Amino acid sequence: MIKPLTIRSRGVLKDVAFIILTALILRILPTLFGSDQNMDVVLFRAQAIPVLDHQNIYQVTHRVFPYTPLSMFIPALCLAFANLSKIPFFITIKIPALIGDISLAVAIYYWANRVRRERGIALKAGLLYAINPIAVLISGFQGNLMPLPTLFMFLAVMMAIYDRDKNYRLSALLLGLSIAFRSYPILLLPLILLKSDLPRIKKLKYVAYALVPTLLISLPFLLIGHQSLFKEMLSYSGFTDYGFAAIERARSLYSIAVANNLNFISGDIAEHMDNLRLMHLCASPNSIIMELAKHSKAIFLSTYLLIVLLNKRLDLLRSVLLVFLAFYFLYSGVSSQYLIWVLPFLYFMDDDHSRWYVILGSYAIVSVYLCYYPRILLGSIPVRGYPDISSVLMNEFFALSLFWGICVIWFFSILFKKERFGVNGSI
Residue-wise pLDDT for 303-355, tens only, equals: 999 999 887 778 899 999 999 999 999 999 999 999 999 999 999 887 889 99
- Say if pTM beats, i.e. exceeds, 0.85: yes
- Tell me: the pLDDT tens digits for 372-424? 999 999 887 777 778 888 889 999 999 999 999 999 999 999 988 765 444 43
Compute the distance between CA of residue 152 and CA of residue 225 in angstroms, rounded to an integer. 29
pLDDT of residue 218: 87
- Tell me: the pLDDT tens digits for 179-205? 999 889 999 999 999 988 888 899 999
Per the structure, how many domains does the chain have?
A: 1
Domain limits for position 405? 237-427
Please report whether residue 344 resides in a domain.
yes
Is the Cα dihedral 54, 60, 63, 68 positive or negative? Answer: positive
Please report whether residue 205 resides in a domain.
no
Please report whether residue 418 resides in a domain.
yes
CA 296 and chain centroid, separation:
19
pLDDT of residue 388: 86
Please report whether residue 29 resides in a domain.
no
| Contact partners, residue 68, CB within 8 Å, separation at least 6 | 179, 180, 181, 183, 214, 217, 218, 233
Please report whether residue 251 resides in a domain.
yes
Instruction: Give DSSP secondary structure letters for 231-288.
Output: HHHHH-----SBSHHHHHHHHHHHHHHHHTT--S---SHHHHHHHHHHHHHH----HH
- Tell me: the pLDDT tens digits for 52-91? 999 999 888 888 888 888 899 999 999 999 999 999 999 9
Please report whether residue 211 resides in a domain.
no
Please report whether residue 66 resides in a domain.
no
Please report whether residue 202 resides in a domain.
no
